[in-house]
Structure 1
Amino acid sequence: MSEDSPPAAQEPDITAVHTPPPSLAELFVAFARMSLAGFGGVLVFARRAIVDRHRWMTADEFNETFALCHFLPGPNIVNLSMVFGSRLRGIAGGVAAFTGLLLPPTLIMTVLAIIYARFGDVEVLRRILAGISCAAVGLLIAVVFRMMTPLLKRMEASALILMVSVFLAIGVLRLA
């Protein structure tokens, strides 16, 4: 192909099809489901619900929004709920998503804290919690790879080398 020829047509992004914006109740329920499914982290379930199931955002939009949330103070997923909800339904949407994200686990953790204060020394309970923690790590690794896929398609070799180097320096060698 010469420099004058047009670029090859890209395959259509099936996730680029947006559905109508959700109602406030749908936002609340969607984020409540994410928070209840996400032991140890909601990011996996947030991406799956927002991009794959509901198609409220494309993969690229999700990655860009999540990147913005890294620059805002506070937990990234809380920021994502506010930014995402506000983007679709204004301030009320942000509050609905935020409340859906935080209310159910707060109530559950309050009850579990009361139970744990009484039965926390039971060995079976400790082993169950250790197993759940391992599953959460596996889910987090899976979502990292899903979020990296669109980025790797348009990334230059130098950026990929930098990304791997930073991972090795921080994740393996513990230089930070």
Structure 2
Amino acid sequence: MSAMPEAAAAPPLNRPRSLTDLFVSFTLLALQGFGGVLAVVQRELVENKRWMSREEFIEEWAVAQIMPGPNVINLGIMFGARHFGWRGAVTAVAGLITFPLLLVLALALIYAEFASNPHVAGALRGMGAVAAGLITATGLKMIPALKKNAMGVPLSAVLGVLSFIAIAWLKLPLAWVLIVLGGIGCVMAYRRLA
């Protein structure tokens, strides 16, 4: 009974108004994503646009991560297809790559000219710390959604810590970590839901 008032209290989710809205939104999303777009995608799609709930985002991001290719492209394909079919999938991907590609080509030409400058090299190393901070902040924002996870917070936390240890400290291949720990997570969630 307590789940009913929470669901009723949550405002309904929005959806993209048109293919143009989808294209422009994904273009702006991609242009903000220096050093990785996870933080930007979550903020824009869940918090600002309200096109997805936090739980939907986590589920779709998990699927996007286990598929081959860039995570945000996979998410764009799934999101665009859900709202506009194949045209939405193509539009979302076009939004993600068109202007960023032009920008990267221009920056590559500029970087080729100034790559030997130690100030430029130092600035790029500093951006690595910013990217790590963005990813950490997004991970922390996703923690409240674990309360609704079928496995519960403790088991989800254990799998998260094991994944971190396997990838960051043991330097195991990501594919194996996804297969083993992801498989364990799927089986445990399936058993709890059954």
TM interval, shorter chain, is 0.7 to 0.9
Deviations 1:32-90 (A, max 9, x none): 11111111111111111111111111111111111221232211111001111111111
Counterpart position of 1:80: 75
Percentage identity across aligned positions? 37
Show structure 2 runs of 5+ residues with no match.
174-194
- Number of equivalenced pairs: 170
Deviations 1:100-142 (A, max 9, x none): 1111111011111111112211112112212222111100111
Counterpart position of 2:161: 164
Counterpart position of 1:71: 66
CA shift in 2, pair 1:101/1:71, >3 Å? same
Structure holding more helix per residue: 2
What are the within-5 Å matches in structure 2 for residues 27-176 of structure 1?
27-154=22-149, 155=152, 157-175=154-172
CA shift in 2, pair 1:61/1:118, >3 Å? same
SS state at 1:50 partner = helix
Show structure 1 runs of 5+ residues with no match.
1-6
Equivalent AA in structure 2 for residue 37 of structure 1: Q
TM-score by length of 1: 0.85
Distance of 2:140 and 2:132 partners within structure 1: 13
Q: Would you say the 8 A contact 1:17–1:58 is kept in 2?
A: no
Distance of 2:126 and 2:10 partners within structure 1: 33
- 2:9 maps to 1:12: no
How large is the RMSD of aligned CA atoms in angstroms? 2.2
TM-score by length of 2: 0.77
* Greater relative contact order structure (CA < 8 Å, 6+ sep): 1
Q: Would you say the 8 A contact 1:69–1:80 is kept in 2?
A: yes
Counterpart position of 1:4: none
Q: Would you say the 8 A contact 1:27–1:85 is kept in 2?
A: yes
Post-superposition shift, 1:10? 6.7
CA shift in 2, pair 1:49/1:119, >3 Å? same
Deviations 1:3-46 (A, max 9, x none): xxxx5457626666212433111111111111111111111111
SS state at 1:12 partner = helix
Distance of 1:20 and 1:159 partners within structure 2: 30
